[in-house]
Structure 1
Amino acid sequence: MRRIAVPWGVLALWVAVLALAGPFAGKLGDVQHNRAVDYLPASADSTQVAKIQDRLPGGETTELVLVYHREGGLSSADRAAAAEQVADIDRKLSLVRTPEGVPSRSGDTVMYPVASTGPGQDEKARDAFVNDVRDLAHDTGAGLSVDVGGPGALATDASEVYQSLDGPLLYTTVAVVALLLILIYRSPFLWLVPLAVAGVADFLSMGVAYGLNQAFGTTISGQSQGVMTILVFGAGTDYALLIVARYREELRRFERPYDAMRAALRGCGPAVLASSATVAAGLLCLLAADLNSSRGMGPLGAVGVLCALVAMLTLLPAVLVLLGRRVFWPLVPAFGSRPKERRSLFTAMGSSAGRRPLTVLGVGAVLLGALALGAFALPGSLKQEDSFTDRPDSVVAMRTLAAAYPEASSQPITVIAPTGKATEAVATARDTDGVTDVTRGRSGSGWTEINVVAKAAPQTAAETATIEALRDGLDGRGAYVGGPSAEQLDLKDTNARDRLVVVPIVLAAVLLILVVLLRSLVAPLLLLAAVVAVWGAALGIGGLVFGPLFGFEGTDPGLGLLSFVFLVALGVDYGIFLMHRMREEVLGGAPTGAAALTALRTTGAVIASAGLVLAATFAVLTSMPLVQLVELGFVIAVGVLLDTFLVRTYLVTSASYALGRKVWWPGPLSRRLPGAPAAPPAEEPALTRTP
């Protein structure tokens, strides 16, 4: 009776949980923020500028640039039509300011900087305002084009891209995972079960993420929400592969599915728990980051992994038990049967690593080191206008401006100064090298807004030098320097700081967990060295293809840190499965070299399947229209593949074979003498390959 009651009870509990999470999951998109300033730490100058602007009359300003252009030169009729159109926009939308048009020296372009405080800091209101301007700023005649650019337009285009990610990202991920599961299981039904359970876990994670935002103010961005979905399906499917493989094995030993599932969970459950805890702990180290976007991604990633874990350890077993053996059709594991003996690819690979371990280890290390050198070819920091894989209206406008006005910036730098020191701040700004124009803007709440125009183009080295000179000159006067270019500079600087802080914490946390799990120091250091080498090689491959092959003109400043955290956490995840099996064999009396080969032979296929699924889910990000997502997905997918098919298969196995008992130093296994009685096998997972 219990064999039926328990699975049905688990299903009923999940129905209740989903009913509670449902209203919150649907609200996650409402708390998503994708402004650059939302990512920054509270201490950044540009963050202070944005907060003070919110308190000024009208609130935050949405700044745009209307760019009128005709190849071969503007006619007098073109200039008159442009001026009339801008005036019409001003009448209908009540712009803050509508200066005279600024013609280019080449005579083929005229720009009109315009702004509005109407939207304030409401992203939806800002997007509506920008789109209203675009509707009114239509082409006025054959050959005369008009594009809407500026910080507000770039922010709107980025926001619309992020808001459009949820559907395509989810559908593409589901399709990729479904295809791989069909190929792995070779069953018309079985693949549906883990996929459906992963979908349930994703729904739950959305509800939990919304709760975190409401309770603790956790930053939710389009990037972090997308990565959470990837982790739910990727990590969840990995856990499902391990559980289903062990369950299939136990069905040959137990007549009743309920008993077989209990044995399967006792066998592989500890390894799944340990690996998920390691991934979650690694991701939570991002809480030490100063950047809001990185700090928010840590909890969201951990939520995704833990929701996937809970679903795969409870809901998946319940559904499989209720469906019985027939879910494996046509390859049904019969009670008392034995799987067909096949020569495993991983047996051959392990044997080659065991014959010449030092040679394999040396060649692999040289290969990874050579690939890592490609990181020096990574393009410089990604500009805001280069963050799209295609060219929206705002990017077209900004590139037209860059070509038509090479001698001046089209994007002002914003200085906020105490009203009592505004005159002094204006004088300091005018005396700063690289500044071409300074004007006073709004005042209120004890602050004055000052607009500074640099000679250099936005987000260039010369403009960065001007911003830094402004900050140096205004230091001690209570003034702050902000604006889009300053925000990008603060993003870069904060990411650099976070790498120095978070990377050691991740390494220390993961090392500590591995030492406790493996009761060794050498084996954890070996695994950590392997995943760090994989990270360097994956970044190097990115450096070789991002510019020449993908045509990217910059690298996201957060790529190094985020890819490091994910690859270390996920790479060690697979290392745990391999080392657990190896340790089990050693406890059974096998020499470490033979144990390494046995572990590879018995776990290789399952780990390879899991690695393929995880790499494929992150590869889904490469189909998204934002450069930072493409870069992150590419580096992680390549890193997972390198880890699965090179590092785990050859390098860790050959290193373990070469080190022998020393790999377990200083634990008791390192001191066991050959021929000594073996300790009884521990209750640890015995992972097997998928038949």
Structure 2
Amino acid sequence: MGASADSPASRSRTHRRDVPTAPRFLRVLLPALLIVAWLVAAGVGGPYFGRVDEVSSNDRTAYLPDSADATQVEQLAEQFTESDAIPAIVVITAEQQIDEQTGTRLDEVTQALSALDAVEGEVSPALPSEDGLAVQVFLPLDPESDLAAAVGEIQAELAADLPPGLTGHVTGPAGFSADLAEAFAGIDGLLLGVALAAVLVILVIVYRSFVLPLLVLSTSMFALCAALLTIWHLAAAGVLLLSGQTQGILFILVIGAATDYSLLYVARYRDELRRTKERWPATLAALRGTLEPVLASGGTVIAGLLCLLLSDLKSNSALGPVAAIGILFAMAAALTFLPSLLLLTGRAAFWPRRPRFEPESADVGADPAAHGLWGRIALAVRRRPRPLWVLTAVVLALGCLGVTQLQADGVAQSELVLTESTAREGQEALGEHFADGDGSPVQVVLEQSRLQDGADLLLAQDGIEAVSVASEDAPGGSAPVTEDGVTAPGPPGSPAPDPTVVSGDVLVQATLADAPDSAAAEATVRSVRAELDAEGIDALVGGVTATSVDTNDASAHDRALIIPVVLVVIALILMLLLRSVLAPLLLIATTVLSFGTAMGVSALLFDHVFAFPGADPAVPLFGFVFLVALGIDYNIFLMTRVREESLRHGTREGVVRGLAVTGGVITSAGLVLAATFAALGVIPILFLAQLAVIVAFGVLLDTFVVRTLLVPALALDLGRVLWWPSALWRRGAP
């Protein structure tokens, strides 16, 4: 008796007839050419991992908008001092008062430091503290030099030359920049190694195969090599800005996204190998089933990332296109390189658990109970959907309450690095023996005619210790300014030097009473700006502290602007993809709820487990962009399959079937993405550690709670209303 028109065998024959045939040479040549092309891209791009520092910068001023006061002062200051050197402050402390003999020895140490290759310009003498227990030396360092290496040389010189009982530290802008460079040094090796190892372990456990995980990891690494090759040349041409932070996020994002897209293809390909014996039709069918969700998912992530172009901070706006390029290559590799590898290897890629040709059981949507654990979960969700989604939503909402504990108003520069820091120790020693603000003054550019008015206003501030004006005629390049005007820094009776005037302006420098990266110093800068404005003095206020103030303000502005834009953009994309209005709005709402819970729980962890000093204002923005954009991936993976099943079986049955079929691949993808972002925690930078916690926890929450319980239960409760106002909503089946 022949097979019925709706039998599995009949469907398999029909499926094979629908697949276009191709000459054998093309079926071999095309994947071979694609593999060779990716091998070439990886071979050329691989060496650029060790060259990223050639085109990257961690200078915070470089990422401020051109209109920011701190940016303009940074540019103008070079005209007054005729130097763009980066100051390093050497602080030397003693256990007992420094005598004349020790002072002479310290002068010799200072001379040795001035002879170092990275030192550019005049080095100050060893300036003693009032208590006689410390001295400080100002070293101008060449901005083109390797600051980490230069600071290392200074520390080595101090260790070799300082007499017993003396301790030296290097702090100031150069010291903190060197700390950051050292912390980011592990990105190329440690970060990649940890991320790839974590992904490899997860893939081996999930697939119980040794070959397939290597093919998937090769896809991720080749995508990263090609992306890095492109981004490096764009950065070298000045089109893009790169920093260590952007580099770390790029690596993790490409590995995680490429692996997720690869897992989606692998799941489809394995199902198709059960339907047909031939690899070519299985490949084409798998590509047809994978293409739409991967393009929609990647397109959504890219759209969300490109919203960062609206940012005032160049560090944020630069991340958008950099990460978008990475996602583009992740999509390309998952849809070309991996399918080519699997086409050539076939069932052998899944060894030792090779998928068998079983057309009679190949209809993966036939029975949710046939899908093991995820089939049972889908059936359990169908039994009591309303109580389940209400209870889940309430629990998630309670988790959101922790957001009130998040202190995302900025942290001191000395707190950015989580490991031991000689710059931080030097800052503490500086504050103990000298004015905290020494070496990092507030810089004010104002009209020469208002010099005394500006100086009087600064001297009246409680947070200002002293005021000076840039002067080429004065020793050290600056002359003190008191209530009586510009005074001579030399012996009494010396003539007062003339200030350096550029286009009618002078550069006034104010020594802060507090550490330049402290909240008190930032309050002083804000007060100075307000007072200058109130007095009608046209002035620009810059310096290290002003850079932090402007950065925090720009981050807060970005957060308020970009988050709503991202939501609107993603909602519109989902509406086009799902041909519905209500479903995308509900999916966006569940994603926002998941984000709020992730932020709330993370805030409690930051305060009570990790004891972090606070958070950068950009942390919520980055957490939102990654969690919402990447969380939507799983919505797309789930809901495109639900819609596909709903067209054949009705909405409620489609939800159950869609959850049963996609549960495994979504869980695997979620575990991989969480593991890759968690790897950011190995880089001892506060921002990256906090981002690792937020995104890793948020992805796991999204995977195991939102996509498994909340969204399916809500869809089951609503039925076909979910698809309003599309044609699927107007159909009779619930």
TM-score by length of 2: 0.86
Is 2:507 aligned against 1:449? Answer: yes
Distance 2:399 2:94 in 1: 46
Is 2:463 aligned against 1:434? Answer: yes
Structure 2 counterpart of 1:366, which letter? V
Is 2:329 aligned against 1:329? Answer: no
Is 2:714 aligned against 1:655? Answer: yes
Q: How many residues align?
A: 669
Deviations 1:506-549 (A, max 9, x none): 01110100011111111111111111112111111221112332
Alignment partner, residue 685 of structure 1: none
SS of 1:648's equivalent in the other structure is helix
Q: In the superposition, relative to structure 1, how do residues 538 and 462 fare at CA in structure 2: closer, same or farther (>3 Å)?
A: same
Deviation at 1:334? 2.3
Distance 1:275 1:216 in 2: 30
SS of 1:137's equivalent in the other structure is helix
Unaligned residue ranges in structure 1 (runs of 5+) = 676-691
Alignment partner, residue 633 of structure 1: 692
Deviation at 1:452? 0.7
Distance 2:431 2:383 in 1: 60
Decide which of 218, 221, 225 is 1:203's aligned counterpart: 225
Distance 2:449 2:151 in 1: 34
SS of 1:112's equivalent in the other structure is strand
Is 2:402 aligned against 1:374? Answer: yes
Distance 1:85 1:200 in 2: 50
Alignment partner, residue 306 of structure 2: 284
Q: In the superposition, relative to structure 1, how do residues 129 and 624 fare at CA in structure 2: closer, same or farther (>3 Å)?
A: closer
Structure 2 counterpart of 1:344, which letter? G
% identical equivalent positions: 36
Deviation at 1:366? 2.1
Q: Say whether the 8 Å CA contact 1:25–1:204 is kept in structure 2.
A: no
Q: In the superposition, relative to structure 1, how do residues 398 and 303 fare at CA in structure 2: closer, same or farther (>3 Å)?
A: same
The 10-residue stretch of structure 1 (537-546 or 505-514) with the greater mean CA deviation from structure 2: 537-546
Q: Say whether the 8 Å CA contact 1:45–1:481 is kept in structure 2.
A: yes
Q: Note the 1:14-29 alignment, pairs <5 A.
A: 14-15=38-39, 17-18=41-42, 27-29=51-53
Q: In the superposition, relative to structure 1, how do residues 498 and 524 fare at CA in structure 2: closer, same or farther (>3 Å)?
A: same
Deviation at 1:369? 1.9
Q: Note the 1:167-178 alignment, pairs <5 A.
A: 167-178=189-200
Deviation at 1:83? 4.9
Decide which of 655, 658, 674 is 1:615's aligned counterpart: 674
SS of 1:178's equivalent in the other structure is helix
Deviations 1:217-268 (A, max 9, x none): 2111111111111111101011111101111111122222122111110112
Coordinate RMSD, CA, aligned: 2.6
Decide which of 61, 66, 70 is 2:85's aligned counterpart: 61
SS of 1:459's equivalent in the other structure is coil
Is 2:598 aligned against 1:538? Answer: yes
TM-score by length of 1: 0.91
Q: Say whether the 8 Å CA contact 1:432–1:473 is kept in structure 2.
A: no
Distance 1:221 1:498 in 2: 19
Q: Say whether the 8 Å CA contact 1:213–1:220 is kept in structure 2.
A: yes
Q: In the superposition, relative to structure 1, how do residues 538 and 70 fare at CA in structure 2: closer, same or farther (>3 Å)?
A: farther
Deviations 1:616-635 (A, max 9, x none): 00000011111111111111
Is 2:665 aligned against 1:644? Answer: no
SS of 2:211's equivalent in the other structure is coil
Alignment partner, residue 655 of structure 2: 596
Alignment partner, residue 583 of structure 1: 643
Deviation at 1:35? 0.8
Distance 2:676 2:645 in 1: 32
Alignment partner, residue 425 of structure 1: 454
The 10-residue stretch of structure 1 (426-435 or 13-22) with the greater mean CA deviation from structure 2: 13-22
Q: Say whether the 8 Å CA contact 1:96–1:115 is kept in structure 2.
A: yes
Q: Say whether the 8 Å CA contact 2:219–2:334 is kept in structure 1.
A: yes
Decide which of 528, 535, 550 is 2:610's aligned counterpart: 550
Distance 2:418 2:728 in 1: 53
SS of 1:191's equivalent in the other structure is helix
Q: In the superposition, relative to structure 1, how do residues 547 and 61 fare at CA in structure 2: closer, same or farther (>3 Å)?
A: farther
SS of 2:607's equivalent in the other structure is coil
Q: In the superposition, relative to structure 1, how do residues 448 and 504 fare at CA in structure 2: closer, same or farther (>3 Å)?
A: same
Distance 1:546 1:406 in 2: 31
Q: Say whether the 8 Å CA contact 1:520–1:666 is kept in structure 2.
A: yes
Q: Say whether the 8 Å CA contact 1:608–1:645 is kept in structure 2.
A: yes
Alignment partner, residue 400 of structure 1: 429
Structure 2 counterpart of 1:647, which letter? V
Deviation at 1:70? 4.0
Deviation at 1:611? 0.3
Who wins on radius of gyration, i.e. which is larger?
A: 2
Q: Say whether the 8 Å CA contact 1:224–1:297 is kept in structure 2.
A: yes
Q: Note the 1:471-550 alignment, pairs <5 A.
A: 471-475=529-533, 477-550=537-610
Alignment partner, residue 386 of structure 1: 415
Alignment partner, residue 390 of structure 2: 362
SS of 1:546's equivalent in the other structure is helix
Q: In the superposition, relative to structure 1, how do residues 100 and 472 fare at CA in structure 2: closer, same or farther (>3 Å)?
A: farther
Decide which of 333, 342, 350 is 1:320's aligned counterpart: 342
Structure 2 counterpart of 1:388, which letter? V
Q: In the superposition, relative to structure 1, how do residues 427 and 223 fare at CA in structure 2: closer, same or farther (>3 Å)?
A: same
Alignment partner, residue 412 of structure 1: 441
Q: Say whether the 8 Å CA contact 2:65–2:313 is kept in structure 1.
A: yes
Alignment partner, residue 295 of structure 1: 317
Deviation at 1:23? 7.9
Q: Say whether the 8 Å CA contact 2:171–2:424 is kept in structure 1.
A: yes
Q: Say whether the 8 Å CA contact 1:566–1:636 is kept in structure 2.
A: yes
Q: Say whether the 8 Å CA contact 1:25–1:210 is kept in structure 2.
A: no
Alignment partner, residue 46 of structure 1: 70
Q: In the superposition, relative to structure 1, how do residues 88 and 233 fare at CA in structure 2: closer, same or farther (>3 Å)?
A: closer
Distance 2:451 2:137 in 1: 23
The 10-residue stretch of structure 1 (540-549 or 350-359) with the greater mean CA deviation from structure 2: 350-359
Alignment partner, residue 132 of structure 1: 153
Q: In the superposition, relative to structure 1, how do residues 150 and 604 fare at CA in structure 2: closer, same or farther (>3 Å)?
A: same
Alignment partner, residue 495 of structure 2: none
Q: Say whether the 8 Å CA contact 2:50–2:188 is kept in structure 1.
A: no
Q: Say whether the 8 Å CA contact 2:110–2:125 is kept in structure 1.
A: no
The 10-residue stretch of structure 1 (282-291 or 371-380) with the greater mean CA deviation from structure 2: 371-380
Is 2:377 aligned against 1:349? Answer: yes
Unaligned residue ranges in structure 2 (runs of 5+) = 1-23, 472-499
Is 2:724 aligned against 1:673? Answer: no
SS of 2:649's equivalent in the other structure is coil
Alignment partner, residue 687 of structure 1: none
SS of 1:344's equivalent in the other structure is helix
Distance 2:278 2:385 in 1: 44
Is 2:176 aligned against 1:154? Answer: yes
Structure 1 counterpart of 2:388, which letter? V
Alignment partner, residue 468 of structure 1: 526
Q: Say whether the 8 Å CA contact 1:421–1:477 is kept in structure 2.
A: yes
Q: Say whether the 8 Å CA contact 1:90–1:98 is kept in structure 2.
A: no
Q: Say whether the 8 Å CA contact 1:33–1:220 is kept in structure 2.
A: yes
Q: In the superposition, relative to structure 1, how do residues 270 and 16 fare at CA in structure 2: closer, same or farther (>3 Å)?
A: same
Q: In the superposition, relative to structure 1, how do residues 166 and 13 fare at CA in structure 2: closer, same or farther (>3 Å)?
A: closer
Q: In the superposition, relative to structure 1, how do residues 127 and 477 fare at CA in structure 2: closer, same or farther (>3 Å)?
A: farther
Structure 1 counterpart of 2:597, which letter? A
Distance 2:247 2:437 in 1: 38
